[in-house]
Chains A and B, each alone.
Chain A
Amino acid sequence: MSVSITSPNFKENAKKALDDVKLQNSRVHIEKGFIGKRSKSIAKVADFEQMREEGRAIKNHVLAHLDIYLEKFEARVKEAGGHVHWAATAEDARKIIAKICKDVNAKSVTKGKSMISEEIGLNSHLEDMGLEVIETDLGEYIIQLRGEHPSHIIAPAVHVSRKDVEAIFREKHTHLDKARVFHQPEDVLAEARAILRSKFQAADVGITGANFLIAETGSAVIVTNEGNGDLTQLLPRVHVAVTSIEKIVPTLDDAAVLMRLLTRSATGQDASVYTTFFTGPRRPEDPDGPEEFHIVLLDNGRSNMLGSEFEEMLRCIRCGACMNHCPVYHAVGGHSYGWVYPGPMGAVLTPSLIGVDKAGHLPNASTFCGRCESVCPVKIPLPKLMRHWREREFERHLTPKAVRFGLAFWAFFARRPRLYNPLARLGMAMLKLLSGGKTRMKTVPLAGGWTKFRDFPVPEGGTFQSQYKKRRKEEGAAQ
């Protein structure tokens, strides 16, 4: 059972989010934190534009040859002693991973952060089977305790204040003294570390995602700042990496280019604290490592995007820069988007994966300001893709009737200047009359959406075209 979908209720979600004081207070971490950090780090790069171009070129090349690189990857993984599983749907992926766990009589599973595991609803599926599932990324751990889903693809608990972290730790870590004081953030960290330490050791299966898959070596790479990825994939007997098919890149060099773009765009780091490449299970000469290695490759709608007008979305390397810079995301936070992927990338990807009938609001809740596109490390034209969704909705008559009617009415006249222009003059004259000689109006008929929050500036009166024609005539007559 996948994560529940509330995207159709985006407007209601957004209203609640705007009234949520705690959430609004947490915005600063993104608006001041992430934006500033990224901009500082890319300023140190000699030619960041060139790097973005390289990133785009690598991903476009891969997408044009996806089957070749995936098959090459599979061969290398098998050579290294690993197992490759192909999952066409979310349900397939859940079943495959569940079977792997069952086959080794797993009792507990540790998890590195994986948005794909959110997409397929893995945790609840495994828990229903009787397994203990422990998120080891600190942010994921916090929201797991709170029974929430991530609100950001890089910083899943960015919406949770330190006070609320302390509160949930106090509530859930019942083996500790309820009256203990957290003097500084390090105390919270230390507590989580101590608990997770024993979980890491006890886990039968470790499940991670993968930031990139490398075809030339059959390797996968994960980046973490906490080292939890290492402990998740190293310590248990079985390591399962689950990720989506478009994560593949041809060579280690290609992965290096994309990783340089990823860490700078995401958190403003030149490199994450831990960067882990893994290839297959442990070899005889290895000091540690899993005995079994499985990679689960998920499609779940991605191959359908190839060759479509949404193909460019598959370039996404999941850095989160788009949402970090999006004023709509700042206003409403990640949970408002109602599914796994928030912000601009979520607005484009979600309709592809769950249908535009459910996710229709997401590509509509945008001013097309273009800030997302300007920071995307692989140059995805996000506003254009959102607009393509609006075209699809319009074709399928999913656009609200009032909007369709309004557009048709307006377009009828706009196409007929001889009708439009005198009608515009009339309309403006009527507005002026309504305004009673003022320059601003507090209410305007049919414009409640505007006047609820803003005054309406009254038109000057007379259209430019009619005045201009008049003046030209007068100038002509005067000569």
Chain B
Amino acid sequence: MSQSQPSAAKPRVALFVTCLVDTMRPTIGFASVKLLEDAGCEVEVPTQTCCGQPAFNSGDMKNSRRLARQMIRAFEGYDYVVAPSGSCAGTIAKHYVEMFEEGTEWHTRAQRLGEKSYELVSFLTDVLKVDKVTASLEKTATYHDSCSGLRELGIKAQPRKLLSSVSGLKVKEMENAEVCCGFGGTFCVKYPEISNDMVSKKTTNITASGADMLLAGDLGCLMNMAGKLAREGKDVEVRHVAEVLAGMTDTPAIAAMEEEGISR
């Protein structure tokens, strides 16, 4: 892989794995570490829980601020903060500043942290100038553009660029790849029927694309889509894009079908 860091010192990257990755799918965390270290970063994992997005989106500003301050304290001492999630990275990069009054110390600290916080794949391509990976995978994958990553952080071309360098992998676009999958955090359990309508439209488009694999950059979206594909009995392998880019696809896929399932 290529890397054009002018400075001699390795960039110190604090990995924010996100609470979903931490609890549900550590493989994504390890894939993130590998990708960042391969690109020449020194990776650390400060003690962490959650960026506070559930509280923020529910209008609970008190807890949002508490969790934001906790994150800021733990992460502000690094060169970069990187998360394998567009929505969590978006919360830190774009929304922390909205939680604090302009002109206050916390607003400044939130702003500083936000300016050096990135989603994983776009960090690799846009900051570290990585343009290819060494992984290989004989599959046809389709990519779902998670909303926050797409619309808050402009992530669209970057994952496709790196996926095109995975030898043996074909990427087939699905119709309406940019339309919301219906996860939306608590939305999917507060309005389950509407969420179901949205994820059903999404799984129809996934299977219509002819791909045998679904990738995305956000685990919430992936769990939602994988769960629906499983309920519908559709055989599509669902993974986080980091797993494919890091060549770590020997673990069971998300909600993998029984025959492939290996319990740990």
> Which residues of A are at the interface with B, using a C-beta cutoff of 8 A?
11, 14-15, 18, 327-328, 331-332, 364-371, 373-374, 384, 387-395, 399, 403, 407-408, 410-411, 413-415, 417, 420-421, 424, 427-428, 432, 437-440, 442, 447, 449-450, 452-465, 467-468
9 extra interface residue pairs, beta carbon distance < 8 Å, beyond A394-B60, A465-B22: A15-B193, A370-B152, A411-B66, A417-B47, A421-B49, A427-B23, A437-B263, A467-B30, A468-B33
Q: Which residues of A contact B29 (CB under 8 A)?
A: 464, 468
Judge whether B190 and A364 touch: CB under 8 Å.
yes
From residue A20, how far is it (CB to closest CB) to chain B in Å?
12
From residue A455, how far is it (CB to closest CB) to chain B in Å?
4
Complex CA gap A392/B60 in Å reads 9
Judge whether A407 and B261 touch: CB under 8 Å.
no
In the complex, per-residue mask of B242-263: 1 if CB is within 8 Å of any chain A CB, else 0? 0000000001101111100101
From residue B28, how far is it (CB to closest CB) to chain A in Å?
8
Give how many B residues have a beta carbon under 8 Å from the other chain's beta carbons: 75
- Taking CB atoms and an 8 Å cut-off, the chain B residues in 36-77 that contact chain A are 45, 47-50, 52, 54-61, 63, 66-67, 70
Q: Which residues of B contact A365 (CB under 8 A)?
A: 187, 190-191, 194
From residue A233, how far is it (CB to closest CB) to chain B in Å?
40
Complex CA gap A393/B22 in Å reads 31
Given B27, B61, B197, B251, which contacts A391 in the complex, CB threshold below 8 Å? B61
> Which residues of B are at the interface with A, using a C-beta cutoff of 8 A?
17, 19, 21-30, 33, 45, 47-50, 52, 54-61, 63, 66-67, 70, 98, 147-148, 151-152, 178-180, 182-199, 201, 223-224, 226-228, 230-231, 251-252, 254-258, 261, 263-264
Chain B, interface SS category: helix
Complex CA gap A455/B257 in Å reads 11
Complex CA gap A453/B185 in Å reads 16
Q: List 5 A-B contacts (CB under 8 A).
A: A394-B58, A415-B70, A457-B24, A457-B223, A461-B264
Which of chain B's residues has its CB closest to A456's CB?
B227
Q: Which residues of A contact B263 (CB under 8 A)?
A: 432, 437-439
Judge whether A371 and B23 touch: CB under 8 Å.
no
Q: Which residues of A contact B180 (CB under 8 A)?
A: 327, 367, 369, 371
A368-B189 contact, Cβ under 8 Å, with A14-B194, A456-B227: no
Complex CA gap A133/B185 in Å reads 47
Q: Which residues of B contact A374 (CB under 8 A)?
A: 151
Q: Which residues of B contact A331 (CB under 8 A)?
A: 194, 197-198
From residue B20, how far is it (CB to closest CB) to chain A in Å?
10
Complex CA gap A96/B132 in Å reads 69
Q: Which residues of A contact B98 (CB under 8 A)?
A: 384
Q: Which residues of B contact A456 (CB under 8 A)?
A: 223, 227, 255
Judge whether A371 and B66 touch: CB under 8 Å.
no
A411-B67 contact, Cβ under 8 Å, with A331-B194, A450-B189, A465-B45: yes
A464-B61 contact, Cβ under 8 Å, with A453-B195, A453-B199: no
Highest count of chain A CB atoms <10 Å: which of B47, B190, B191, B196? B191
Judge whether A14 and B198 touch: CB under 8 Å.
no
Judge whether A449 and B223 touch: CB under 8 Å.
no
Q: Which residues of A contact B196 (CB under 8 A)?
A: 452-454
A440-B60 contact, Cβ under 8 Å, with A327-B198, A414-B50, A453-B199: no
Complex CA gap A391/B67 in Å reads 16
Q: Which residues of A contact B182 (CB under 8 A)?
A: 327, 367
Complex CA gap A365/B254 in Å reads 27
Complex CA gap A447/B24 in Å reads 15
Q: Which residues of B contact A18 (CB under 8 A)?
A: 193-194, 197
A366-B187 contact, Cβ under 8 Å, with A420-B49, A449-B192, A459-B24: yes
Complex CA gap A388/B182 in Å reads 21
Q: Which residues of A contact B148 (CB under 8 A)?
A: 368, 370
